A = this chain, B = another copy of it.
């Protein structure tokens, strides 16, 4: 079996952090992987120089991961088709709003037996009758197998080689599970593989709705007990949602890094929590969009958007009453409900029946 060639599609903060890992694992497993890894870089000019050339000469992504060296077997390529043309494994790590466009660029130009793995949190922005997972979008366009990697993985800490875990969700472990684990598993980035793609991926998107509720609770000063109840009820709605729309997930998957760990981190430290905490304090004078802009300085909080998409889907099957937390977050973000009324909405939660 010839060694597999890997292409990394994306080179932002998370993409560069993961390139450090992939550069190292491909090099230390030469009989599994080709150690030459190409990484797609959207060209930019930094202080008069091309970013791709800076990366290929200094081995540092000075714009998105300054101060950290990329392994020398990572090669920046500015054309995404060129990046992927010989690849056996496509690692998607771009902002979710670019997935459809980039996948269409690659259509018909990649190896037919290649596989993809998506590290993208959030739902696809392509129009569909309901919501669409990023992995589904890639699969539909490229007609290849798509796995996902999710977990409590703040990029700067991963780049700093802090110990953490991640979850790979895959259709069948025995097919590519061991190989994909080898591609990401290092001393400080510990991988579990589960046969639950949708559950793994949905945890990464839905947790942001829960983090909004946690932020409202923090903004209102409700304390630790209430916040713990919100996180737990949010987890139960995530599980319920997965079971309703993608039945067959294992309950144990929600105890993986993609589930429990990522949810907790997001509800204590994440940006959705921060924006929603501030929203409670300033909602009389500012819109959610204004607060987001001020606090996140250009980054976006996906929780309010995900809540809107999820609630639209719930309405189609008249399921809102089973998801009081998701529905309340959506209403509060649209100013149809006061944050102070969140708890009232949770009081008759189906979990307490």
Q: Which of A181-220 contact B (CB under 8 A)?
A: 185, 187, 190-192
Which B residue's beta carbon lies closest to that of A191?
B352
Shortest A240–chain B CB gap in Å is 11
Shortest Cβ gap from A200 to chain B (Å): 14
How many residues of A are counted as interface, with CB atoms below 8 angstroms from the partner's CB atoms? 48
Residues of B contacting A190 with CB < 8 Å?
229, 347, 349, 352
Which residues from 209 to 235 on chain A have a C-beta closer than 8 Å to any C-beta of chain B? 222-229, 231-233, 235
> Do A229 and B165 touch across chains, with their CB atoms under 8 A apart?
yes
Contacting pair A229 B346 (CB below 8 A): no
| B residues in contact with A232, CB < 8 Å | 152, 165, 255-257, 260-261
Chain B positions within 8 Å of A257 at CB level: 228-229, 232
A300 interfacial by beta-carbon distance below 8 Å: no
CA distance A257 to B233 in the complex (A): 9
Indicate whether A305 reaches chain B with its CB closer than 8 angstroms. Answer: no
Counting CB contacts under 8 A, is A264 at the interface? Answer: yes
Assembly CA distance A235 to B252 (angstroms): 12
Contacts of A351 in B (CB 8 A): 192
Docked Cα-Cα span, A347 to B162, in Å, equals: 12
Chain B residues with CB below 8 A from A153, complex form: 225
Return A234 CB to nearest CB of chain B, in Å.
10
A351 to B194, CA, bound (A): 12
Report the separation of the CA atoms of residues A154 and B226 in the bound assembly, to the nearest whole angstrom. 10
Q: List 25 A-B contacts (CB under 8 A).
A: A152-B229, A157-B224, A157-B225, A162-B223, A163-B225, A163-B347, A164-B229, A165-B228, A165-B233, A165-B352, A190-B229, A191-B352, A192-B351, A224-B268, A224-B269, A225-B265, A227-B265, A228-B261, A228-B264, A229-B261, A232-B256, A232-B260, A235-B255, A236-B255, A254-B255
